[in-house]
Structure formats: C-alpha cells, structure tokens
C-alpha cells in the first residue's frame, strides 16, 4: 500500500524531471507560458473593463439620479436598445454600418479577386508595375480617400473652401457628396488592395502541377479556373471577406468625414460621439455589440478553416504559372486595371496635392498656384502657419514615427515569438490559447479598444502606472491591436519553415539560442521585416485607435489632420495626409531596398 503510494509519487517526480529536461532542450513551453501571461493581461483586462463598464453606474449618473458609483445597472443597455434615443444612437447606425460594410466588402472582394487574377495569371499590359501600384491605396490613410472625395465633390451644405466640381459650376447632389454611396466606395477603394494581396499570394502558392494535371486531362483554361483554381481560393476568399467586413465596421475616418455632413451615422461614429460626450456606459454597450459581431465573424472563420483545412496545398514547387493569353480582352482588362489604379491611388493624390497648391479651388490660373499652405508663415484667411512651419505638425510627425516605429518593431518580434510557440506546441492548451487570444483584439473595433484602454490606464493599477497622456499608452494600444496580424503572419511564417532545419541544428549540437540566432532568425528574416513593415504602415495611418487617446503634445499626423478638418482648414488637413502618404511610401521603398523583399513579392511578373 505504502510502497505503491510512494512509487506513484516517484513517477510524478520522474515525469516532471523528463518534462524539465525536455524544457531545457526546447524552451518553447516557457516562452509560450510567458506570452500567455502577458497577453492575458493586455488583451483580457480591457475586455473585462468594457464589460464591467457596460453594467455599472458612472459617477456622473450616480450623482444625477441618486445611486452608488459603480452600482450594477441595466440603464445603459436600456439606453442603447430601448430608449427614446436608441433609434438615433444605435439602430439606425447599425443598419447603416451593415449596409455600408456589405457594399464596401463586395466591391473590395470583387476588385481584389479580378485584379489579382489578371496580374498574376494573365498577360495584361504592365502587370509588372500593377503588382506594386495597385497596393498603393493600402499605403494611404483611409482619410485620404475620404478627404479627396470631399475636396472633389463637396457642396455648400458644409462650410469651408469650395469643392472642385463646385468651383467649375457643377453642384454635386448631396447623395453623391455625402452618405452611404461615397462611404462605401471610399472604403472599398481603401481596402481592395488587401484582398488583392491575399488573392495574389494564394494564387502564387497554388501548386502549378495541380493545374498541369488538369490540362493533361483535357481541361481548358476556363475549366481549370472554375474547377480548380477558384475552389482552391475559397478559404482565401472567406478570410478576405471576414477581414474586410471587420475592417469596414471599425473604420472611423471615412464615415466621420463623409457621413457627418449628411448626419449619416455608423456604429463607429456613433461610438465616437458617445466617447466625446463621456457616456462610458453607452460606449461600452456599443463596443460590446461591435465586438459580438466580430465574434460571430471569428466563429465563421474557425468553422471555415476547419472545413477547408484539407485544402491547404502543401509545397508547391514555386513554379510560376504561365500567363495565359487574353486575346481581344487584353486591352479592356488592361484599361480596367489601370483605371482602378487611377481612381484609387493616383486620383486622390492629385486631388489632395492640387488643393494644397491652389489658393482658390478650381482656378487654374498660374497666379493662383503657390506654396502658402506648405511654407507660409501665416496662411491668409486662416491665421495659421503653413505645414512646414507649424510646430504642431512637426511634433505630430515625430510622434507618428516614434509610436508607429516602436509598435511595429515590438509587433514583429512578438508575432514571430507567438508563431514559434503556437507552431512548436501543436495540440497543446497553450498553443490554442495563444492563437485565440492574440486574435481577440481583432474582434474589438479600434475605437472600442481605445475606450477600454482609456478607462483601464487612466489611473495606476498594480505595477502599471497611469499611462494616459503618454506615448507609451499609444504604443501599447497599437501593439495589442496589431497583434492579430502579427501573430497570424508569425504563425504562418513558422509553419512554412517546419521543424527540420532546427532539428538538424539540434543534432549537430546547437543549443536553443544558437538555433534561434543562426538558423531560425535568418530563415525568418524576410518574414520578420514584412511583419514590421506592415504594422508600421498601418500605424502611420492609424486614426480610429488613437483619435481619443491623444492629448495635446501626443498628437499624431493622422489626428492632427482631423483637427485641421474640424476647424475647416481643409488644405492643411490635405497637406498633412499627403505627408503621411509620402512618409509611408518612402519607408516602404527604403525597407524594400534594405531587404530586397517587396510588398508585392509573390505577385506575378
């Protein structure tokens, strides 16, 4: 009896000993556990705080209606869903959001798929350049498209300088200038490059032999596309769909700029108004609703991934598909692709640039052109310094670099680390938990997340000091928000490498750090750099996440442009946006040069 107890006790010890030695050989488990702890706090705490805010009485309301601060209440749930104002703050915005998301996603997906197919697999003219040019809209902040639209189509409904068409004597109707139509189009044009990138890389990953087999069996190109390629793209299509819907739901700039004049409110702008009016209970409830929609999307995603997992094609030989000849369709398709580039990338740039160079819109007289908005010490009619002399803009520029830069570097490394832990601990709780938790922030729109961080870090908690008004809060919130992208790309990068290279090193006597530094890191160099570039771009043009966390002194370029717009300084706003676009593009080019990787790598051509 006694001996069996002690022997079972012993076997536990022995088991632990083996586990421990295994851990020394491969400390993935340790890394995973540390990540689990850090992420739990950074991700779960804000979520908990949102939930608690949604059902506890605020101090303000406690004083007004008599009750205790922090008391449990359904007041805010009521206010959002079933009060005299719920139509205005929730139901109509919900309907609007869904409408806009639906159309924007539909357009973005279609454009992305068509353009990706054309560029990777056909002989349209200029496919080499299109691969890069078509992702430029992705580098522009989402307010670029919106302000360009406004600069072009605005009418007398709102004040400020004339719209371009207006100055030519054409007055655009309200439905064209503001509201659902321009919002959907602008969002679609901002987000299609993403679909384009994903489809392109999926297309280039499909094992060409799958198609060759089909053609030896007598299938024509058309049949190969409909029976083999498109079905193989279903998983990609689903994730593009999911990502785009989620993005459009969380976008703030476009509806803020194009919806507000027509009083066309989306959930995101409604949430922002509630934040501005300090209604933290309502903010929480709306944020939860937005997040629930996100959860639904995630469930669909999980279901799809599980369902289509068998489709994951392993190890294409990396042979490029022969571009198929388009015949008479070559010219129209080429035209189509270039027109999209013109509308989505070049157009906004030109419109924005022109507006900052012309003193009066629409007047193309040579004397009307000038650099006043850029270099003037005091811009006439505005009582504001020009962009380059404005201390606010200089500070914002510095902040943008600092915040987006640090956040993206942290994100890149964190993503690979998560990828490593997830891929090397398959089937364990840690792996599943990390995968899910790093994806959670995706479900919360940036605005909601920012609201949560605002309430969470306004005061010091435990070892973490009060961060409100500091740059570190902005970095932190950015890191956590971009974690889903970082971890996803980290996971897929790690998946691609597989354990063998590392195991080969192990056999030859390389310890853990050695394996990481001389085998894994070089193998993942390009993945890492891409994992840094992408969040950097996003960070430089991030608005919704930071718009309510910034304080004077921590303004970013994006928020500064919104301030300018709020004051009616359209040209200054446009100039700031141009700076963002240029900075982003230059950074991309520099990094490309440095690393010889290319955002468009994996595209045809």
Question: Binding of other proteins at residue 427 (CB under 8 A)?
Answer: yes
Residue 169 or 427: the one with the smaller Cβ distance to other proteins is 427
Judged by CB under 8 A, the stretch of 199-207, 226-234, 245-253, 498-506 that binds other proteins is 498-506
Q: What's the closest the beta carbon of residue 31 comes to other proteins, in angstroms?
A: 17
**Beta bridge pairs of residue 324:** 122
Judged by CB under 8 A, the stretch of 63-71, 189-197, 322-330, 496-504 that binds other proteins is 496-504
Q: What's the closest the beta carbon of residue 510 comes to other proteins, in angstroms?
A: 5
Give burial (CB, 10 Å; 0-12/13-18/19+) of 543: buried
**Beta bridge pairs of residue 358:** 369
| 337 and 124 Cβ atoms separated by less than 8 Å | yes
CA distance 480 to 490: 15
Considering all CA atoms of the chain, what is the largest pairwise distance in Å, rounded to the nearest integer? 103
Judged by CB under 8 A, the stretch of 136-144, 252-260, 390-398, 518-526 that binds other proteins is 518-526
The answer for residues whose C-beta is within 8 angstroms of residue 162's C-beta and 6 or more apart is 154, 360, 361, 362
Which one of 508, 552, 593, 594 is in contact with other proteins (CB under 8 A)?
508
Question: Binding of other proteins at residue 514 (CB under 8 A)?
Answer: yes
CA distance 141 to 66: 45
Q: What's the closest the beta carbon of residue 423 comes to other proteins, in angstroms?
A: 15
Residue 262 or 523: the one with the smaller Cβ distance to other proteins is 523
Cα–Cα nearest to 407, from 469, 465, 464, 486: 486
| 72 and 56 Cβ atoms separated by less than 8 Å | yes
Residue 24 or 329: the one with the smaller Cβ distance to other proteins is 24
Residue 327 or 427: the one with the smaller Cβ distance to other proteins is 427
Q: Build a one-symbol-per-residue string for 378-417: x at contacts with other proteins by CB under 8 A, - elsewhere.
A: ----------------------------------------
CA distance 353 to 347: 10
CA distance 319 to 467: 51
Give the single-character DSSP code of 346.
I
Which one of 214, 382, 506, 529 is in contact with other proteins (CB under 8 A)?
506
Q: What's the closest the beta carbon of residue 128 comes to other proteins, in angstroms?
A: 23
Q: What's the closest the beta carbon of residue 213 comes to other proteins, in angstroms?
A: 20
CA distance 601 to 596: 10
Residues in 3-42 at the binding interface with other proteins, rule: CB under 8 A: 13-18, 21-22, 24-25
Q: What's the closest the beta carbon of residue 406 comes to other proteins, in angstroms?
A: 28
Residue 501 or 602: the one with the smaller Cβ distance to other proteins is 501
- H or E segment and range at residue 229: none
Residue 315 or 327: the one with the smaller Cβ distance to other proteins is 315
Question: Binding of other proteins at residue 509 (CB under 8 A)?
Answer: yes
| 217 and 235 Cβ atoms separated by less than 8 Å | no
| 266 and 96 Cβ atoms separated by less than 8 Å | yes
CA distance 230 to 569: 47
CA distance 40 to 261: 41
State whether residue 381 is helix, strand or coil. Answer: coil
Q: What's the closest the beta carbon of residue 282 comes to other proteins, in angstroms?
A: 48
State whether residue 56 is helix, strand or coil. Answer: strand
| 264 and 179 Cβ atoms separated by less than 8 Å | yes
Residue 173 or 315: the one with the smaller Cβ distance to other proteins is 315
Question: Binding of other proteins at residue 501 (CB under 8 A)?
Answer: yes
Helix 557-566 vs helix 570-595: crossing angle, to nearest 10? 160
Give the single-character DSSP code of 466.
P
Q: Site for other proteins (CB under 8 A): how many residues?
A: 29
Judged by CB under 8 A, the stretch of 99-107, 111-119, 121-129, 499-507 that binds other proteins is 499-507
Residue 318 or 552: the one with the smaller Cβ distance to other proteins is 318
Q: What's the closest the beta carbon of residue 516 comes to other proteins, in angstroms?
A: 13
The answer for residues whose C-beta is within 8 angstroms of residue 353's C-beta and 6 or more apart is 578
Which one of 92, 106, 357, 510 is in contact with other proteins (CB under 8 A)?
510
Residue 205 or 514: the one with the smaller Cβ distance to other proteins is 514
Which one of 511, 551, 590, 596 is in contact with other proteins (CB under 8 A)?
511
Q: What's the closest the beta carbon of residue 445 comes to other proteins, in angstroms?
A: 39
Q: Build a one-symbol-per-residue string for 259-298: x at contacts with other proteins by CB under 8 A, - elsewhere.
A: ----------------------------------------
CA distance 166 to 175: 15
Angle at 190 between CA 184 and CA 191, to 5 degrees: 90
Q: What's the closest the beta carbon of residue 316 comes to other proteins, in angstroms?
A: 15
Write out the residues near other proteins by the rule CB under 8 A: 13-18, 21-22, 24-25, 427, 499-501, 503-511, 514, 518-519, 522-523, 525
């Amino acid at each position: 009896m006694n001996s069996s107890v002690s022997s079972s006790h012993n076997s536990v010890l022995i088991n632990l000993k083996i586990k421990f030695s295994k851990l020394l050989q491969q400390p993935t488990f340790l890394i995973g556990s540390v990540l689990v702890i850090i992420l739990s706090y950074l991700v779960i705490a804000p979520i908990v705080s949102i939930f608690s805010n949604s059902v506890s009485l605020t101090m303000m309301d406690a004083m007004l209606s008599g009750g205790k601060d922090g008391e449990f209440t359904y007041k805010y749930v009521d206010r959002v869903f079933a009060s005299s104002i719920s139509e205005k703050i929730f139901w109509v915005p919900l309907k609007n959001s869904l409408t806009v998301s639906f159309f924007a996603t539909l357009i973005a997906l279609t454009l992305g798929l068509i353009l990706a197919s054309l560029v990777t697999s056909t002989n349209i003219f200029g496919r080499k350049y299109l691969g890069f040019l078509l992702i430029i809209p992705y580098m522009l902040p989402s307010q670029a498209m919106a302000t360009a639209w406004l600069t072009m189509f605005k009418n007398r409904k709102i004040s400020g300088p004339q719209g371009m068409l207006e100055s030519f004597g054409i007055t655009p109707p309200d439905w064209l200038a503001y509201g659902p139509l321009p919002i959907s189009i602008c969002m679609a044009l901002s987000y299609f490059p993403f679909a384009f990138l994903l489809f392109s890389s999926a297309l280039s990953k499909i094992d060409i032999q799958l198609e060759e087999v089909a053609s030896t069996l007598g299938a024509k190109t058309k049949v190969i596309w409909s029976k083999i390629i498109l079905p193989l793209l279903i998983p990609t299509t689903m994730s593009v769909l999911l990502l785009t819907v989620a993005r459009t739901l969380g976008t703030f700039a476009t509806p803020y700029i194009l919806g507000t004049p027509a009083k066309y409110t989306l959930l995101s702008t409604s949430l922002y108004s509630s934040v501005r009016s300090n209604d933290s209970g309502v903010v929480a409830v709306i944020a939860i609703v937005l997040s629930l929609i996100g959860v639904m999307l995630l469930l669909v995603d999980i279901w799809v991934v599980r369902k289509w997992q068998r489709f994951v094609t392993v190890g294409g030989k990396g042979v490029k598909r022969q571009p198929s000849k388009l015949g008479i369709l070559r010219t129209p398709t080429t035209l189509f692709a270039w027109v999209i580039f013109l509308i989505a990338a070049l157009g906004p740039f030109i419109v924005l640039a022109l507006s900052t160079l012309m003193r009066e819109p629409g007047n193309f007289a040579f004397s009307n052109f000038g650099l006043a908005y850029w270099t003037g010490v005091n811009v006439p009619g505005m009582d504001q310094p020009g962009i380059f002399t404005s201390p606010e803009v200089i500070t914002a520029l510095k902040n943008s670099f600092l915040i987006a830069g640090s956040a993206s570097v942290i994100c890149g490394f964190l993503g690979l680390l998560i990828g490593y832990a997830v891929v090397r601990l398959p089937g364990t709780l840690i792996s599943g938990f990390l995968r899910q938790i790093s994806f959670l922030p995706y479900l919360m729109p940036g605005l909601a997340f920012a609201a949560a961080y605002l309430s969470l870090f306004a005061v010091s908690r435990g070892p973490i000091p009060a961060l409100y008004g500091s740059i570190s809060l902005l970095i932190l919130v950015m890191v956590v928000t971009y974690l889903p992208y970082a971890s996803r790309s980290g996971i897929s990068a790690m998946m691609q490498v597989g354990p063998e290279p590392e195991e080969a090193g192990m056999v030859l006597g390389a310890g853990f750090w050695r394996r990481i530094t001389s085998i894994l890191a070089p193998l993942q160099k390009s993945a890492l750099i891409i994992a840094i570039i992408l969040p950097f771009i996003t960070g430089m043009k991030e608005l919704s996440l930071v718009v309510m966390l910034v304080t004077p002194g921590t303004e970013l370029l994006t928020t500064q442009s919104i301030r300018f717009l709020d004051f009616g300084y359209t040209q200054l706003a446009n100039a700031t946006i141009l700076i963002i676009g240029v900075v982003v593009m230059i950074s991309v080019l520099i990094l490309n040069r440095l690393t010889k990787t290319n955002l468009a790598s994996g595209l045809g051509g």
